[in-house]
Structure formats: structure tokens, C-alpha cells
Amino acid sequence: MADLERIRLVLLGGAGVGKSSIVKRFLFKSYTDKYRATVEDLYNREYDLGGVTLKVDILDTSGDMQFPAMRRLSIATAHAFMLVYATTSAPSFQCVKQCFEEIREQRADFQDIPIVIAGNKADLATTHREVRQEEVTDWVFCELPRLRAKVVECSAKEDTNVTELFKTLLSLSRFLPASSSSVGPGGPGAASVEPAPSGFKRRSSAYVSASSSRNKNRMNSPSVSGDKKSSLVDAVDVASTSAEAKLKPRSRSLIRRASRKTKQQINNASDDCNLQ
């Protein structure tokens, strides 16, 4: 029986930079020019890495930053980040910098977390570029502490380097060798990271309780599940665990106490700045 590993990838960035387009291009091979603001979408997918089954949770977050408590929890529970900006928008790069500062403030282990900085809309860069890749690279490798990070420009519209983004995250997470040259069937040298037969699922919220996750791991779930909303109380068990792939069970009394503490912290927290 293959070993199981789990990683949660969180996408952060300003509104309209193409976070959802990147995810949908990668998962569904689809693209639309119509813009729909995202509140929060969670996608689950499994990959066969040759003897190891990797379960990936892809959390697509809101770009308008109107939900600071949700964003703080997503940062606290992430194993990897994709910070997305648009090559055609200098303010979107400033937003990425602010997102990184939030990660640095909340995560003491930020230097060990895999981070890909994705410059989307590269197809428009020849005529409307406002952010040079060299500028982003200098910021990451010259101004910041040593990170497990990489800068990749992509185009969700033209499907350029979208797969490379996720392959890079797996390499930084040490699930794939850095020399891997492709993701998908027929790639030379690298293990296949095509989805396992269970397929993918989409949920409206990332805040699923640990007990629910354990039950779903034991059962065969349908290829596509319906939307399901859950409260912040259900997330306490997930938020309180360390950034490990496996979750440990906790007693109900601990969950209740952690739930009350989380609510008090959220009530006392000040609203974060809106990033457009």
C-alpha cells in the first residue's frame, strides 16, 4: 500500500490578478475572461508520485482582503504558498509584498515554507508590462532573508508555465526532484504527478474539521462533491495543529476551549488593510 502525504497550498494576492484562472487552468484545463470575485474555494486532488500518494489541498483566497480572519487562518494552516501578481500591474506586486509580510509576522517558520511568486498575465507583458521579473527576483533574493522560494512568470490564458508553477512547488516541498522536467504523463525522468483515480473535489470553504478529513480519507468519495459551508468553530482543530501533513486527534473539551479562545482573538483583532 502506498504511503500517504498531504500538503496544503494557499494562493494569495490582489484582486483580479488571476489566482482562480491559474487554479482552473491547472485542474480543469479551462479559462474564461469573465471575472468573478472569489470569497474562498478549496480544491482537493491526489497525485501518484511512484509509491507515494500525495494529497494536495489548493486554497484559492479572496483578493479584496475583506475577510481578515479567514486569511489569517489560511496562512496559519498552509504548508506552501503561491503569491500571485500581474505583470501588468505594479500595485499587484506591492500587494504580494504585503501578503509576504503577513506570512512573516504569523509564521515563525516562514523561511522553511515553499513559496512560489507567480507573475501572471505574461501574455500581455510585451505591451503592458509594469513589473519586470528582475525586479521581483531582486526583491526575493536580495532584500528578503534566505527563503525556499522561486519566481515564475506565467499566463493562465495561454497556459504558459502554469504546470511549471505547481511542479516548482512540489520540488521546493521536496516531493519531486529539482531536476524534474515535466509534470504529467510521458515526462522524462520525473515521477508521474497525474491525479489518482479519486479525482478532485471542490468546496466553498477551507475550514473543514480534522475529524471530517480523517473520515473522508477512510471512505471512497465521489469525484466531484457538492459545495459545503462550515463554521469557524470547525476549523479550530485544523488551525491548532502544526504545519504537518498528518493531523492528530484532539478531545472535544480541547476543541471547545480552543474554539472560545479563537473567537475571543478574532473579536479583539483589528481589521487588516484592504489590498486592491
Which residues, listed in sequence order, are joined to residue 46 by a DSSP beta bridge?
55
| Burial class of residue 30, CB neighbours in 10 A (0-12, 13-18, 19+) | exposed
User: Quick check: pTM over 0.85?
Assistant: no
In a domain, 273, yes or no: no
Span of 19-23, 64-68, 108-112 with lowest mean pLDDT: 64-68
CA–CA dist 21, 123 (Å, integer): 14
Pairing of strands 195-203, 40-48: antiparallel
CA–CA dist 50, 3 (Å, integer): 10
Q: What band does 200 get if pLDDT is binned at 50, 70 and 90?
A: very low
**Given a cut of 70, is residue 195 above it in pLDDT?**
no
In a domain, 275, yes or no: no
Q: What band does 5 get if pLDDT is binned at 50, 70 and 90?
A: confident
* pLDDT for the residue numbered 166: 92
C-alpha cell at 164: 511549471
Pairing of strands 40-48, 52-61: antiparallel
Q: Write out the residue range of the structural domain in which residue 247 sits.
A: 3-268
Q: What is the CATH number of the domain that holds 116?
A: 3.40.50.300
* pLDDT for the residue numbered 114: 96
Span of 2-6, 32-36, 88-92, 170-174 with lowest mean pLDDT: 2-6
Each residue of 256-266: pLDDT tens digit? Answer: 555 555 555 54
* pLDDT for the residue numbered 67: 72
| Residue percentage of the chain with pLDDT more than 70 | 62
C-alpha cell at 10: 494557499
How many structural domains are present in the chain? 1
Q: Grid coordinates 512573516 are at which residue?
A: 104
In a domain, 55, yes or no: yes
In a domain, 274, yes or no: no
CA–CA dist 95, 100 (Å, integer): 9
- Count of beta carbons in the 10 Å neighbourhood of residue 198: 16
* pLDDT for the residue numbered 161: 97
In a domain, 230, yes or no: yes
In a domain, 112, yes or no: yes
* pLDDT for the residue numbered 57: 94
Contacts for 159 with CB less than 8 Å, ≥ 6 apart: 25, 29, 31
The average pLDDT across 181-202 equals: 40
* pLDDT for the residue numbered 248: 43
Return the amino acid letter for 53. Answer: T
- Count of beta carbons in the 10 Å neighbourhood of residue 155: 22
For the chain, what is the mean pLDDT?
Answer: 73
Return the amino acid letter for 173. Answer: S
- Cα angle, residue 105 at apex, residues 265 and 232 outer, rounded to 5°: 35
* Number of continuous H segments (helices) and E segments (strands) in the chain: 9, 7
* pLDDT for the residue numbered 71: 87
**Given a cut of 80, is residue 171 above it in pLDDT?**
yes
The average pLDDT across 117-129 equals: 96
C-alpha cell at 134: 528582475
CA–CA dist 261, 148 (Å, integer): 32
Return the amino acid letter for 232. Answer: L
* pLDDT for the residue numbered 212: 43
Q: Is 115 strand, coil or helix?
A: strand
